[in-house]
Amino acid sequence: MSVSKDKSTGKWMVQWRVKDLQGKVIHKKKRGFKTKKEAQEWEVLQRIKVEDSSSMLFSLFIELYFQDMQHRVKKSTYKNKIHLVEKKVTPFFGHMKLNSITPKHIRDWQNLLTSYRDEKGNPYSQTYLKTINNQITAIFNYAVKYYDLKENPCHKAGGMGKKNADEMLFWVKEEFDKFIECIKDKPQSYTAFMLLYYTGIRSGELAALTRGDINLEKLTITINKSYQRIDKEDIITTPKTPKSNRVVTIPQKLADCLEDYFKLLYGLKDDDRIFPFTRHFLNHEMKRGCKLSGVKKIRVHDLRHSHASLLIEMGFSPLLIAERLGHEKIETTLNTYSHLYPNKQVEIADKLNNF
């Protein structure tokens, strides 16, 4: 490979020669680098990739990993991955060669993370530790598949954290009624939280809703997009998973609530967002409503759990709940809400006794 300046454009390029499957030498170029340094860095990374790729430094491998991931995942997912890896993974493994990282190193890293504390002085949650561990496992799986790493050290090291929290916070109907009564002074907040509780949609799906998504006559809401605020820019993407594309039915009282709210939105068009606010606004209103009503504090996302709990209590099947929530697999629903089902066992036994 060689680095030179393209006289026609004034930018830098990398040139190299490779042999095809028939042994014929092919001349290739990579153009468009703004600086010589960028071209040289790209050249170094390509040499490492072609040569003994598994012996590269972990920090260099991560650069290659994210170059690939950038084109394969959503922008929000990509940003979250980078933040997590840069803060929790690279500082420990960055100086090590990829093929020198052993299960013992992974165990030491896991033990270190379990001793960390967040900004409030609390240990990392079990679900957060699980998320980090899943990420590094995926990274080494990628190295095995594409960079000739012999095996994934995470497999022998074992896992860390738990998939589901020990205690899931949610509101029963009486608690939600107290909360919603205290935020009636703001129609925007009132309508948004009514929607979250009675549909179980995600906050990103709520923020992306347009007037055209809601059919008050058929009592349905079409979920086909999600909203993210990234780098001070509003981003509308597809929903979290393919199954998240769905049509959710709503009760008449929620339709009446939406109809009243639409009357306050002057000149509303079908493609206008009906809740043009950020997650920060929802969090603020959640705290305000909890303080005024005196109900226990939960997260905005916990309203999704509250809706699932309501449906379980009403006797709906896990399959129907999974479809309504947009879960990709019914196992997700069963694993997430399995602890809410045991109280039905006595009811089942009683019905069998009376049969």
**What is the model's pLDDT at position 283?**
94
- For the chain, what percent of residues have pLDDT higher than 70? 91
- Read off φ and ψ for residue 169, nearest 5 degrees: -90, 135
Domain with CATH 1.10.443.10 in the chain: 173-346
Domain with CATH 1.10.150.130 in the chain: 75-166
pLDDT at 86 over 80: yes
Tokens representing 177? 């009624």
**What is the model's pLDDT at position 21?**
43
Higher pLDDT among residues 134 and 341, named by residue: 134
| CA pair distance 252, 256, nearest whole angstrom | 6
Architecture of domain 75-166: Orthogonal Bundle (1.10)
pLDDT band at 343 (very low <50, low <70, confident <90, very high): low
**What is the model's pLDDT at position 264?**
93
Among the ranges given (56-60, 93-97, 195-199, 339-343), the one the predictor scored with the smallest mean pLDDT: 339-343
Q: Are the C-beta atoms of 199 and 275 separated by less than 8 Å?
A: no
Protein fold of 173-346: hpI Integrase; Chain A (1.10.443)
Among the ranges given (68-77, 129-138, 161-170), the one the predictor scored with the smallest mean pLDDT: 161-170
**What is the model's pLDDT at position 171?**
95
**What is the model's pLDDT at position 153?**
96
Higher pLDDT among residues 132 and 228, named by residue: 132
pLDDT band at 48 (very low <50, low <70, confident <90, very high): low
pLDDT band at 181 (very low <50, low <70, confident <90, very high): very high
Arithmetic mean of pLDDT over the chain? 87
Higher pLDDT among residues 6 and 145, named by residue: 145
Q: Could you report the per-residue pLDDT of 228-263, keeping only the tens digit for each?
A: 887 778 888 888 888 899 999 999 999 999 999 999
Tokens representing 351? 């019905």
The mean pLDDT of 194-205, rounded to a whole number, is: 96
pLDDT at 195 over 80: yes
- For the chain, what percent of residues have pLDDT higher than 90? 53
